[in-house]
Each structure stands twice: as structure tokens, then as C-alpha cells.
Amino acid sequence: MVLAPPPGKKTVVIAPKKQGPGFRPYIVNGERYYPLPHSHGFVQTGKASWYGKDFHGRPTASGAAYNMYRKTGAHKTLPLGTYVRVLNLENGKQTVVKINDRGPFVKGRIIDLSYAAARDIGLIGPGVAKVRIEALGRQVGEYDSKSGKEPVVEVSDLEKGIFTVQVGAFRERENALRLAKRLKVLFQYVHITVLETPGGVPLYRLRVSRSPTLKQAGKVEKKLEEMGFEEAFIVSL
């Protein structure tokens, strides 16, 4: 039986030829999730960090309160609600988390883990480690083939959305406004958002462009890097 996918999503059959090394299901809240085939999936390698008690109880980008004792994560671009497998490449430990927040807002870091998830993969002590993350798809049915029952999972187009590029974050509002004025000559969309930090000191985040695909946002990011903004990175809106 195959259930109809929700709007904006489609389904794919995970046939044996698509089941590569490391393929196995993960059970999360009673539902079964599978690594996605390469053509539909999302795999990223980079640095992971974690955040804990300073953010406990504060609202996340999803609207839910951050709970450091649940296995969640923050990612810059993946759709909120996406489950990902996180493999610590330095010790071989892994965990599965739900993306419910945005971040980490640091160039070169690809995911911020909750305390519980960081503990799973031995990240608490070192604080930062090299990881590989892989998007998972929820099983919504089975397909009867000559080879037997094959899982059917729902997938999202992880390359599409609304993306912007963060140029920098400033303690002083005037500095953000000054740079924004310069960038408005080159970009149609220039916007400043205010982030209230746990210490009560606001950060003024300067972002430019609104792109419908990661590829287009990547071009903007590269242009900014060539202009000298080497810390620029893509964020999903």
C-alpha cells in the first residue's frame, strides 16, 4: 500500500539497486525512515557543534521551544521537520535528529546539535567535530516487486525554497546599516534582521538576495566571497 504524499512532496521506491552501503531503516516516534537515494537525497560533510542550557526553553525557528534533552538539530537550509542521520567521522558514532531550528550561523559549520544528540556522538567534550549528515525520508508504504516488498518513502525537493545569503552579524546597528547601504547598489534585496541573544545583546544580521534554488543562492554567495565577504553563507528563509 502506498499513501498519497502531502502537497509539495513526492514518493520514491527504494529498490535494491538504490540501497547502497549503510542502508538500513531508522525508527523515530514509531515511524520508519530510510536514507534517500543519491538522486533525491542530501549529503553534506563539515563541522558540527552543539548548543545547550543557554538556549533551553527558547523558541526555535520551527516555533517549538528548544529542549536540550531531545534529539534535534539546527541547519541553515534543510526544510524544518527533516530528519537527518549524523555520523561523527572522528569516532564512528551516529545519531538521528529532527531539524527544527536554523543555524549554526558560522561559516564552515553545517549543523548545531542539541545536548542529547551531541552526547550520542561524543561531541560534548570536544565541542566541534567533523561529521557527515544525510537526509532521511519517511516510509509511507510498500511496493510489491519481483524482488519482494520494497519501501516507498516521501521526499522533498531539498534544492528548492527561498534562500538568502548572510553577509555578517553586527553588534552595532549603525555598522549593519552602513554596509547595507553599500550593498543595495548591487542587490535588489538587502535586509537586516535582529537576533536577541541569551545575553540580551542584539545581533543585527545583514542578508542579501532571495533565491528560489540553492544553486542560485550559491552564485550570490560566491560573488560576495569574491568581493571580500569570505564569511558569507546561505540560509533558508
Residue 60 near residue 113 (C-beta atoms within 8 A): no
Whether residues 167 and 68 fall in one domain: no
pTM metric for this prediction: 0.86
Whether residues 65 and 36 fall in one domain: yes
- 98: domain CATH number is 2.40.40.10
- 169: domain CATH number is 3.30.70.1070
Whether residues 23 and 94 fall in one domain: yes
**What is the reported pLDDT for 153?**
87
Is residue 27 a part of any domain in this protein?
yes
Whether residues 13 and 82 fall in one domain: yes
Whether residues 82 and 124 fall in one domain: yes
Is residue 74 a part of any domain in this protein?
yes
Under DSSP, the state recorded for 55 is: T
Q: Phi and psi (nearest 5°) for 121?
A: -105, 15
Question: Using CA atoms, how far apart are residues 81 and 62, in angstroms rounded to an integer?
Answer: 8
Question: Using CA atoms, how far apart are residues 22 and 42, in angstroms rounded to an integer?
Answer: 15
Q: What is the pLDDT along the chain (237 residues), one digit of tens a residue?
A: 445 445 456 888 877 666 665 667 889 989 999 887 766 678 999 999 999 999 999 999 999 999 999 999 999 999 999 999 999 999 999 999 999 999 999 888 999 999 999 999 999 999 999 999 999 988 988 888 777 788 888 888 888 899 999 999 999 999 999 999 999 999 999 999 998 887 788 999 999 999 999 999 999 999 999 999 999 999 999
Q: What is the CA radius of gyration of the chain?
A: 19
Determine the structural domain holding residue 63 and report its residue range. Answer: 9-141+149-156
Counting the structural domains of the chain, the total is 2
